[in-house]
Amino acid sequence: MNIIRSPSNIHNVLHTGISLILSRRFSELHLTPEELLSDIGEFFVVEPGDTISDIEKASNCCITTDFFEEAHYGSPDFVPSHEWLEHHLEQQCFEMVFIMTDDGFFTVLLIPDIPGIDPDLLSLCRTYS
C-alpha cells in the first residue's frame, strides 16, 4: 500500500491511471502553501498483495462492514460505509471516498482493477460502483 501525502509522492505510484487521477485531485484541491494535505485528507493506493484487513487497518475505513459493523459484505443487510465509489474505466481503477469527520476530512482509496488485487475487494467495487 502506498500512502500519498503530497504531490511529490505521486512519482512513487507505478499505476499510470492512478497517477493521473492523483494529479487531477491535487490540482482540484487548490492547496495554498500554508495548507497541508494531512490537514484535510489522505490518499491510499492499494497494491497487489494488500488484503482488505490491511487496508482497513491502515486507512481506518470500514470497507466490508457497514458503519456500525453489524452487517458484512455479502449479507442482504450490508450497506457500504463509503460516500461514493467510481469505476474509472479508462484508468483501470476504482476510487472509493470516505468522509471521516464532520469537518470534511476525507480518505480516498485508489484501487487498481488489475490481477493481484484482493478479489473480494474488486467484487465489492464492481457491485457498488
Mean pLDDT estimate for the chain: 92
pLDDT exceeds 70 at position 81: yes
In this prediction, residues 94-105 reach a mean pLDDT of 92
For 26-54, give the DSSP string: HHHHT--TT--HHHHEEEEE--TT--HHH
pTM of the model: 0.92
pLDDT exceeds 90 at position 110: yes
Q: How far is CA 27 from CA 21, 22, 111, 123, in A?
A: 10, 9, 20, 30
Quote the CA–CA distance of 82 and 128 in Å, as a whole number.
10
- Give the model's pLDDT for residue 8: 83
- Give the model's pLDDT for residue 120: 97
pLDDT exceeds 90 at position 22: yes
- Selected residue with higher pLDDT from 69 and 108: 108
- Give the model's pLDDT for residue 38: 79
Quote the CA–CA distance of 104 and 112 in Å, as a whole number.
25
Quote the CA–CA distance of 98 and 62 in Å, as a whole number.
9
- Give the model's pLDDT for residue 69: 67
> Coil, helix or strand for 95?
strand
Model confidence over 35-75: pLDDT tens digits?
Answer: 778 788 999 999 999 999 999 999 999 999 877 768 899 99
